[in-house]
Amino acid sequence: MLFAVKMDVEIPQDLDAAVREDLLSREKNYCQDLQKAGRWVHIWRCAGQYANLSVFDVADNDELHTLLWNLPLFPYMKVSVTPLATHPSALDAAAAAS
């Protein structure tokens, strides 16, 4: 089941540099692990923004919430969620909705 997720990031300028590096490194690993696991199926940078547009493929709302809640950068993000359904004009409808 697919969800579009927009994440706007705002890390305070005065955050300790080492803490910041650690956060960003853990965020990248976390993100790539979920991509390899087939859960985080798309991630794009919104041009000119500290933000991304992503698509998640999860079993249900609880799994979606758990994945997002555990993002290392979650406390510094504004997150919006759009549940996605199959579009009747989509050629890949079956695959997209799986």
CA distance 65 to 57: 12
Residues 19-38 within binding reach of a second copy (CB under 8 A): 27-28, 31-32, 35-36
Q: Which of 4, 20, 22, 57 binds a second copy (CB under 8 A)?
A: 4
Measuring CA to CA, which residue among 44, 69, 53 is closest to residue 3? 53
C-alpha 78/C-alpha 55 separation (Å) is: 16
Strand, helix or coil at 55? strand
Query: Least Å distance between CB 18 and a second copy?
Result: 15
Q: Which residues pair with 56 in a beta bridge?
A: 3, 40
Looking up tokens 């927009």 gives: 6
Out of 26, 37, 44, 70, the only residue in the binding site for a second copy (CB under 8 A) is 44
Binding map of a second copy across residues 46-75, x = CB under 8 A, - = no contact = xxxx--xx------xxx-xxx-xx-----x
Contact residues toward a second copy (CB under 8 A) are 1-5, 12-13, 27-28, 31-32, 35-36, 42-49, 52-53, 60-62, 64-66, 68-69, 75-76, 79-92, 96-97
